[in-house]
Chains A and B, each alone.
Chain A
Amino acid sequence: MNSTETKQSVAPAAADQDERIQRVSFWKKALNRPELGALAGAVLVLAFFIAASSGTGMFTPAGIINFLEVAAQLGIIATAAALLMIGGEFDLSIGSMIGLAGILIAIPAVEYGWPLWAAILLAFACAGLVGWINGNLVNKTGLPSFIVTLGFLFILRGLAIGTSRLLTGRTQVGGVQDHIPGDWFAALFSGEVATGLFSWMAENGWMATNFAGNPTVSGIPVSIVWWLGLTAVATWVLLCTPYGNWIFASGGDANAARNSGVPVHRVKISLFMFTAFSATIFACIQVMDTGSADTIRGLLKELEAIIAVVIGGALLTGGYGSAIGAALGALIFGMVQMGIFYTGVNTDWFQVFLGVMLLVAVLFNNYMRKKAMEAK
């Protein structure tokens, strides 16, 4: 009785209702959300860095933007990878698609004088085609998407290298930044937003200056806006549209879904096209940002995206997961990847650090979920 009294005193509003229903429904809500564990993992990683990097610049505005930008770029592809994984498939060709898309943007623009918007559209069109082929191959052959897209991992990387060597004699193409000004489409993928706000803050002394004497943050990188936008849209699609239900159904049990009228094949093709699109968005942002394309860009990003999605609570077997979880997974990844530079750890141990932190985050994530289940 004591415990009941305490609860009642803490939450008097709940006193009138049957408290068991109240509690179960609250836990059930949290439990049914895959992102619960990821949130716990993110909080843990955050707490670790607040402790380990105290007195450093990790949690100044500049430091936050610094790791958010890395998280955002990964988050963009992780969102699409999450939808696809919930739909029951993998796409290992994302990383190579990034390299190829970059080349498809840079070569027409720099070597052949295309306007940048046309080159970007070409890259998106090719990405759409690649996604469509991936999806159709998986559907028609019945092979695991792991194998089909593994093939495309090599094909796309090889195409990027071969094409750029053939047309330019090298594997890096620079000079894209000269084409950005005045291009309406490229503007969507380049620069920063809210720059006025930040310079105003700096003028009023609300923001510190960095090693070069500039305001530490001049704006929010556009990649962060894309990340948040894509996560929001993907979450809305998953939770509020019939198409979202189709994705869950296709990944959960494709046969049952098909029997109940879900166009599983079309769902999968569209998801593969979306992962290729997201890789192209990633490539656009990076090409505009660095001013160059390189055939090696995006190396291992397919694995990082899958890691982010899994940290985010999705099941490797499909049918379960969330876009917000993937975003949290990308956030954890970005924090860990950049955090080491603030902790003073010798960077010889960079990869050990990265691996251990990711494992800890996932283990904690699972532990929290189990705890939550028991509490039910």
Chain B
Amino acid sequence: MARLSQWLLATAATTALMAGAAQAQEPQQDASRFVMVTHGVPSDPFWSVVKNGAEAAAELVGAELEYRAPSTFDMAKMQQLVEAAVASNPDGLILSFTDENALGGAVQNAVDNGIPVITINSGGDVARDYGARLHIGQSEYEAGKQAAERMQEMGVEKGVCVNHEQGNQGLDQRCDGFVEGFDGNAEQLATTYDPTNIRNAIVAYLNENSDVRGVLTLGALAAEPMIQAMREQGATDMFTLGTFDLSPGILEALDAGELNFAIDQQQYMQGYLPVMFLDQFVKNGLLPAGDVATGPGFVTQENAAQVIELSSQGIR
């Protein structure tokens, strides 16, 4: 009996101690630390919005967020950033999975070390093969295809996709989807980053291909020169014009009816959601069961005004 009571006492004491320790630990518990690595260069306005979303979510749940991105579009640099992030053993890793060859190993390494990984923006089709839990983003190919379908509904028979950054997988997929959506009745027009170059290339192309009536650009960088070319020629009504992504210039043109639509992938959500999800995962072990599609969403003249308001707050 004495032995049993001794044992009970010891157990009770231990339990009490542990509970006490746990209680004492509760308020001192370190905030979760999440690292977000993206391929977005600092000059790209798109990624400022992603970062805004992530920071807002981190503040809300009291998590610590580290945002890292290479200064140039360089997968080798990004790989180093991801490896450094994994080595710092965060409570969760969020990354844009632009290149499975360069980043797959590092993601696998993170997963093997028990770090939950959520991919955003690109690479949704393959991220799971490397153990990522979830992907949040837009299928670029599907978005391009939907742009083509929308143009066809508006009566366009032949379109052109202006690619200002050939070799960028996401942009190439958008154009591929667009051409496919037109059953091949569309072409890709490669240009450089230079706005004058982009504008003159579009004008030259349209002068040479008089049957093309739909023009799709892949970002604000190219959309604004396109809108400008159309304004100069007074030709905004002659063509069906669409673009990816939003900028003040694009929203203004949408509002004025000069641009027919802009495809928006709500990138604020690509920053906000993974932080919220990881927080739930760390605290309660909860995660959505499937990928989250944040786009394609279409912004047109009807909803432009509302989006302009949000854009000025850095949310869209």
Contact = CB atoms under 8 A, between A and B. Distances in A.
B208 A342 contact: yes
A75 to B, nearest CB: 12
Interface in A156-178: 157, 160-161, 165, 169-172, 174-175
Given A212-B234, A289-B196, A172 B203 contact: no
A341 B207 CA distance: 10
Interface of B: 42-45, 48, 163, 166, 187-197, 199-201, 203-208, 210, 220-221, 224-225, 228, 233-235, 238, 247-249, 252, 314
A59 to B, nearest CB: 12
B181 to A, nearest CB: 18
A73 B225 CA distance: 16
Interface residues of A, number: 46
B55 to A, nearest CB: 13
Given A171-B45, A174-B249, A296-B221, A347 B188 contact: yes
Contacts of A169: 48, 314
Contacts of A292: 224, 249
- Listed from nearest, the 9 A-B pairs whose CB atoms lie closest are A212-B235, A212-B233, A347-B190, A350-B190, A341-B204, A295-B43, A174-B249, A171-B43, A211-B206
A295 B221 CA distance: 11
A199 to B, nearest CB: 14
B201 A341 contact: yes
Interface stretch (A28-36, A64-72, A136-144, A319-327): A64-72
Contacts of A211: 203, 206-207, 210, 233, 235, 238
A102 to B, nearest CB: 10
Q: Interface residues of B: mostly helix, strand, loop or mixed?
A: helix
28 contacts: A56-B208, A57-B207, A63-B204, A67-B200, A70-B194, A70-B196, A165-B48, A171-B44, A171-B45, A172-B248, A172-B249, A211-B203, A211-B206, A211-B210, A212-B235, A214-B234, A289-B228, A290-B196, A291-B249, A292-B249, A294-B195, A295-B43, A296-B193, A299-B193, A301-B194, A338-B197, A346-B188, A347-B187
B247 A174 contact: yes
Nearest to B175: A348
B210 to A, nearest CB: 6
Interface of A: 56-58, 62-63, 66-67, 69-70, 73, 157, 160-161, 165, 169-172, 174-175, 210-212, 214, 216, 286, 289-292, 294-297, 299-301, 337-338, 341-342, 346-348, 350-351
B221 A170 contact: no
A62 B48 CA distance: 39
A348 B48 contact: no
B200 A66 contact: yes
A66 B203 contact: yes
Contacts of B194: 70, 73, 297, 299, 301
